[in-house]
Amino acid sequence: SQQGEEDPQALSIQEGENATMNCSYKTSINNLQWYRQNSGRGLVHLILIRSNEREKHSGRLRVTLDTSKKSSSLLITASRAADTASYFCATDAWNSGNTPLVFGKGTRLSVIA
Amino acid sequence: NAGVTQTPKFRVLKTGQSMTLLCAQDMNHEYMYWYRQDPGMGLRLIHYSVGEGTTAKGEVPDGYNVSRLKKQNFLLGLESAAPSQTSVYFCASRDTGGNYGYTFGSGTRLTVV
C-alpha cells in the first residue's frame, strides 16, 4: 500500500504560474523525496528533505515538510511547458535502516504555453 | 553515460511463457530495486537487493523471482507470465547511506496476452 498520497491527482496551469502539489504520508520517516516522470520515461530524482528539515530549495523548486501533520508540498515557481510531467513523493520508514522507498500515486501536471 | 540500463524496452509474451528482465548499473551502487507501475497505482516494489548475493521481497513479489549474482546486475524473472503482470517495470539503484536519491532506468513495457 502507498505510504504517500499526492494531491491533487491532476493539475493544469498556464506557463509562468506557480504549481503546488501536496503529499501526505502515514508513518514517521527518515526523509521524503520528490521525483519527476516525463511521459514514457523513468523517474528522475528532484529533491530530498530530511525529517529534521522544514524547507529546502533547488532552483525553481521549493519543498516544505511538516512532520507534525505528516505532509509535504512541492512548489514549482514560474512554470514552463517543459515542467509538464507526473510528480511523485516517496518516503522511507523512520529508523528502518535501508528499507526501500514507498511511492505515492503521483500528480499529473500540465503546463499550457 | 553512467546510469541504469534496462533490457528489453518492450516485450509481448503469451500467457504461461517465461522471460527475464535485465537491469545493469555502472555506478557501483549497492542497492537495487524492481518496481512495477500500473495506471492509477503509482509504483509498487516487487523485490530489492542490498548487495551482491542478497535479495528481499517487496510489496508485490508473487509471480516473480530475482537474482543478484553480480553487483552491477539485477535480474527479474517471470516463470509463467499472466495477464495481471502486464505493466511497466522499472529498475532503480542507489548508493549506500540513507540520504541519496534513486537512479531509475527507462523502463520495460511488458504486455502479456
Of A58-67, B59-68, B94-103, the least confident: B94-103
**Grid coordinates belonging to B57:** 521481497
Give the percent of chain B with pLDDT over 90: 89
Rounded to the nearest 10 degrees, how much is the dihedral formed by the CA atoms of B34, B68, B75, B105?
Answer: 50
Mutate to test the interface with B, among A5, A36, A43 (most CBs of B within 10 A): A43
CB B88 within 8 A of CB B102: no
**Which residues of chain A does B45 touch, with a Cβ-Cβ cutoff of 8 Å?**
100, 102
Q: How far apart are CA B23 and CA A42, in angstroms?
A: 13
| Model pLDDT for residues A9-40, shown as the tens digit of each residue | 999 999 999 999 999 999 888 889 999 999 98
Asked if residue B39 has pLDDT above 90, the reply is no
pLDDT band at A66 (very low <50, low <70, confident <90, very high): very high
Instruction: Report which of B85, B108, B81, B87 is spatially closest to residue B14, judged by C-alpha positions.
Output: B81
* HSE-up (13 A, CA, CB side) for residue A22: 7
Q: How far apart are CA B91 and CA B106, in angstroms?
A: 8
Find the mean pLDDT for residues A79-95: 90
Contact B104 A92 (CB under 8 A): no
pLDDT score for A27: 87
Q: How far apart are CA A28 and CA A46, in angstroms?
A: 21
pLDDT score for A97: 62
**Which residues of chain A does B99 touch, with a Cβ-Cβ cutoff of 8 Å?**
31, 48, 50
Q: How far is A60 from chain B (nearest CA, A)?
A: 19
Report the DSSP pairing between strands B10-13 and B108-112.
Answer: parallel
